[in-house]
Structure 1
Amino acid sequence: MHLTPNLVAAFAVLALACAAALIGVLALSRYARMQRSARTLEGALTQRVAAGAPVSTDSGPARGEAPPTGLFAAIGRASIAWLDTSFGRIAVADEDRRLLDRCGYLDARARGAFMLARIAGAALAPVALMLLARGTPHGARFTLLLFVALSGGFMAPKWFVQSRANARQRAVGNELPMFVDLLRLLQGVGLSLDQSLQVMIHDFKTVLPILSKELAAAQAQFATGRTREQSLKRLSSSYENEDLAAVVRLVIQVEKYGGAVQEPLRQFGDRMREARRAALRERIGKVTVKMTGVMVLTLLPALLIVTAGPGFLAVLHSLSGLHR
């Protein structure tokens, strides 16, 4: 079958219609289930009130905190329900979920929005390409461009999330020496580990913008009954930083076995600063090598013109005088 722009556009519109219909059906079915659950709960509460049983006002959402309603909210809830399906595990793979965790997107709503962004990008990028083509000649090249547009639209959200995750990973590496020094200082003045972490979360959030949020999430998990090792597990594994993992292991050991932590933190901070100095010296060495090529391409021609230019002009004048 010979592909024409009209036929491809028809296929794209049909695919978009099928996807929209599927999302709408899932959203409406989930909304209907929620309505049935709400009616069942309301009926049970009405029966308890009629029987004279006390009804607790603390259970359920408070007034003004009801879940959002509407088409977009229903689509968002349907996308969250898709995360555990086979399609959801393909659209949001384990690697994508780790990247979202590294970016600070920890809830299922962010993962559902990421999956919707990938679906929308894969559907809209070919349509945009066909609108820009305006009926130009087609064929194998046009089909290849459509495939590239579909792949690019599907991968664009991941590229954005990956760039943000890499930026946060570099920021965590830059914040880590300050975190170690602050922890050593706060432990040295007699504060406990919980007090030290609370001070860094509340008073040093401008100095540690990312680590303070991660520590706040870990402290919230610790307050709900998890152990210190469980609450700090994501912090030590998400950013793939060996120094951060070593600091977390040290904090866990101090929490579990006790003991003085100032001297190990001082030694660890000195070793980290020395490693950073070595990395800076290595980067400076690489910049020097790269600048050699730049200097050859830019400064050497100007130097040759300045030094050899007068002699070359004198030779030209002498040769012109001989011809006369």
Structure 2
Amino acid sequence: MLDGLTWMVAALALMAGTLVFVASFSLLLRRHEVATRLSLLFMPDREHGTLVEMTLAFLERLGRRIEGARVNRELRALVLRAGFFQPSAVYIFVALRYCIAIAVGLGVLVARAGMAGPSAVDFLLGLFFGYLFYRYVVIALGVYADRRAATIRRELPPVLDIMLMALDAGVSIDQCMRYVASVVPGTAPVTGEVLRRHIADIDAGMPYDAALDRLGQRLGLDEGQDLAATIKQALFQGGELGTTLRRFSADLSDKRMATAREQVGRKAPQLTLVMIVFFMPVLLIVLAGPAVVTLTGALKTAGEQMTKRGTAP
């Protein structure tokens, strides 16, 4: 039989545990609210409270556990070049990379496993295809980043022309950037999105030099970094930005023309290869076909004559 002191201690322990649980639960609620506000502030386009948002959060936690505190700089730069600017994007990509590799490996293993179970060859094939897709995901991201860079390279000349018109009208650099970010989404959607994020950084209180450095990183190509450096130099060291941008636009147009000439020059060998593969066999058949038929007929006739001579009495 328990005495009164034991019941009092048990009641106090239960009350203390209840208070700790309530305090911890309220702390978790406040932490979740702060995380939601920050997510809405820095990632306004992301869907919240949905299955996609919970999946992305799970992948981010998994990627952080896999990658740890240090992230490969080349992988982070590649993710940034591909247009994924959120800090969690690199961790989500790491988690997806491992999940795809494991899923492919298990799929190959299950597809090849018979009634007797998987063999050593099945395990080796699963590992091979899993590692192949593990590498292929990075290659696919690099191809996507290159396509995005090519798109921005095509969009920069009209964007620079609009900037030059705004600067010639007498507006400041900041007003020019805001005006360009508001009018180019229709003609240059990728570059316009980068400019809108740059304006958001400025409105959030980020220094102009840091915002311009981030602008060059988000553009993801050498011409974009040169553009950001040119604007930064004109903003902090003085000088006429219109003349520099006009020269930069001309150089960019010359590079585009040189790239177009290079692509046209590569078409001629490709067309020659196509002609060799598809036209030469047909041409050889047309030219050599009658001769082959005549030779075959002559050999057949000669064979028949030799057969008749051999069977004659």
Residues 91, 115 of structure 1: 8 Å contact kept: no
Q: Cα 1:90–1:304, aligned 2, differ >3 Å: closer, same or farther?
A: farther
Q: Cα 1:69–1:196, aligned 2, differ >3 Å: closer, same or farther?
A: closer
Equivalent position SS for 1:232: helix
Q: Cα 1:188–1:108, aligned 2, differ >3 Å: closer, same or farther?
A: same
Matched, 1:220 2:200: yes
Matched, 1:204 2:194: no
Shift, 1:271, TM fit = 2.0
Equivalent position SS for 2:175: helix
Written as runs of structure 1 = structure 2, the 5 A alignment for 1:59-138 is 76-77=56-57, 79-81=59-61, 87-89=66-68, 93-135=72-114, 138=118
Instruction: Select which of 128, 144, 165 maps to 1:185.
Output: 165
Q: Determine the C-alpha separation between the residues in 2 that align with 1:34 and 1:70.
A: 25
Identity between Structure 1 and Structure 2 (%): 20
Q: Determine the C-alpha separation between the residues in 2 that align with 1:194 and 1:91.
A: 36
RMSD: 4.0
Q: Cα 1:194–1:88, aligned 2, differ >3 Å: closer, same or farther?
A: same
Instruction: Select which of 24, 37, 42 maps to 2:27.
Output: 37
Shift, 1:283, TM fit = 2.1
Amino acid at match of 1:35: F
Shift, 1:171, TM fit = 0.9
Q: Cα 1:72–1:267, aligned 2, differ >3 Å: closer, same or farther?
A: closer
Residues 103, 164 of structure 1: 8 Å contact kept: yes
Residues 62, 95 of structure 2: 8 Å contact kept: no
User: Where does residue 4 of structure 1 map in the other structure?
Assistant: none
Residues 67, 94 of structure 2: 8 Å contact kept: yes
Shift, 1:282, TM fit = 2.1
* TM-score normalised by the chain length of structure 2: 0.69
Shift, 1:163, TM fit = 2.9
Matched, 1:176 2:156: yes
- Which sections of structure 1, spanning at least 5 residues, go unmatched? 1-31, 42-58
Structure of higher CA gyration radius? 2
Q: Determine the C-alpha separation between the residues in 2 that align with 1:175 and 1:249.
A: 18
* TM-score normalised by the chain length of structure 1: 0.67
Matched, 1:291 2:271: yes
Amino acid at match of 1:113: I
Which structure would you say has the larger RCO, counting Cα contacts within 8 Å and 6 or more residues apart? 1
- Which sections of structure 2, spanning at least 5 residues, go unmatched? 1-21, 41-46, 306-313
130-139 vs 245-254, greater mean Cα deviation: 130-139
243-252 vs 288-297, greater mean Cα deviation: 288-297
Aligned length: 270
Q: Determine the C-alpha separation between the residues in 2 that align with 1:291 and 1:115.
A: 41
Residues 60, 95 of structure 2: 8 Å contact kept: no
Amino acid at match of 2:99: A
Equivalent position SS for 2:152: helix
Shift, 1:232, TM fit = 2.0
Shift, 1:220, TM fit = 1.3
